Amino acid sequence: MPTRRRIHLAARRGFSVTRPPKSVALTLVTAMFLVYALVPIAWLVINSTKTQPDLFSTFGFSFGDSFALWDNLVATLTYDDGIFVRWLGNTLLYVVLGAGGATFLATLSGYGLAKYRFPGRKAYFAVVLGAVAVPGTALAVPTFLLFSQLGMTNTPWAIIVPSLISPFGLYLVWVYTVESVPTELLEAARLDGAGELRTFFTISVRLLAPAIVTVALFAVVATWNNYFLPLIMLSDPGWYPLTVGLNQWSAQASGVAAEPIFNLVVTGSLVTIVPIIAIFLFLQRFWQSGLSAGSVKQ
């Protein structure tokens, strides 16, 4: 029911209605964050329509003499035998296997930690909380040394396997499961003869859908924007993700033997962020409900 209608009905029934206070300062701060988020995107969109000379002869937020967005897209996708398309495919591979696997493992682990009692459960949970506090960049060099001894560097597995670990995702699923999956419902399913796997996939997964989507969003964004780990793990440009590949193009455009490809770097950056924006807009309602779930006990 819309807010205005609820207020009107409450007033007719004699209840006192108090509107939420409006904060000018909070509105201004929110507007500043909105501008901070939209200005870089606007700059990318505008400059993706410019030719290489127009990038340096016009103001950053003004359009050039010609609208070259389509030409820039074609040049970006075909430059260097279509290496950008290869980087895009690599990124999708890392996201599907890495982020997808991280979501699946975090869901299983968080659910098991919340609903089952086993020896060492508290110690395991303490390790998970400690892992949440450790930044991924701090583990990049030890991970490289480990994979180097295993002979797995410069392979896609050097990116996929570390991406499977998501301590924050596990913790989020654990908190959500405690509040949203009633133990009585699981016991009723067991009394009806359902096994643990059937109970999990037919009952628990449906109740955990918002948390699963939220974990998937965080994992996808982390894997899509992963830069430092691929930078030290990969030496073959054929396995680069978009982040490392675009940085290589930027270095080519600004190096000693500079190539006129700044327009390709800008256009490629725009293409890179479009899938993430689309995913967030499409799954926004699940993401919001997943973040708020468990904050209030029923």
pLDDT, one tens digit per residue, over 229-275 is 999 999 999 999 999 999 999 888 886 566 788 899 999 999 999 99
Domains and CATH numbers, the chain: 24-67 (no CATH), 77-292 (1.10.3720.10)
pLDDT reading at 295 higher than 70: no
CA distances from 191 to 112, 115, 178, 184, 205 (A): 19, 16, 21, 10, 19
pLDDT reading at 79 higher than 60: yes
Query: Predicted confidence band at 93 (pLDDT cuts at 50, 70, 90)?
Result: very high
CB 263 within 8 A of CB 51: yes
pLDDT of residue 58: 78
Average pLDDT over every residue of 161-174: 91
pLDDT of residue 288: 57
Among 178, 160, 168, 21, smallest CA distance to 95 is for 160
pLDDT reading at 32 higher than 50: yes
Query: Predicted confidence band at 21 (pLDDT cuts at 50, 70, 90)?
Result: low
Average pLDDT over every residue of 83-88: 95
Top pLDDT among 143 and 61 is at: 143
Query: Predicted confidence band at 292 (pLDDT cuts at 50, 70, 90)?
Result: very low
193: three-class secondary structure by DSSP: coil
Mind listing the pLDDT tens digit for each residue in 193-219?
Answer: 888 888 888 888 888 988 899 899 999
Average pLDDT over every residue of 4-10: 52
63: three-class secondary structure by DSSP: coil
pLDDT of residue 298: 43
pLDDT reading at 223 higher than 90: yes
261: three-class secondary structure by DSSP: coil
Rg (CA), the chain: 24
Instruction: Report how far residue 93's alpha carbon sits from residue 196's, in angstroms, rounded to the nearest whole number.
Output: 31
Query: Predicted confidence band at 90 (pLDDT cuts at 50, 70, 90)?
Result: very high
Euclidean distance between the first and final Cα of the chain, in Å?
21
Residue with tokens 């807009």: 281
pLDDT reading at 136 higher than 70: yes
**Other beta carbons less than 10 A from residue 9's beta carbon:** 12
Average pLDDT over every residue of 42-53: 90
CB 169 within 8 A of CB 103: yes
Instruction: Report how far residue 206's alpha carbon sits from residue 153's, in angstroms, rounded to the nearest whole number.
Output: 38
**Other beta carbons less than 10 A from residue 23's beta carbon:** 10
Average pLDDT over every residue of 128-145: 84
Top pLDDT among 282 and 108 is at: 108
**DSSP state at residue 165:** -
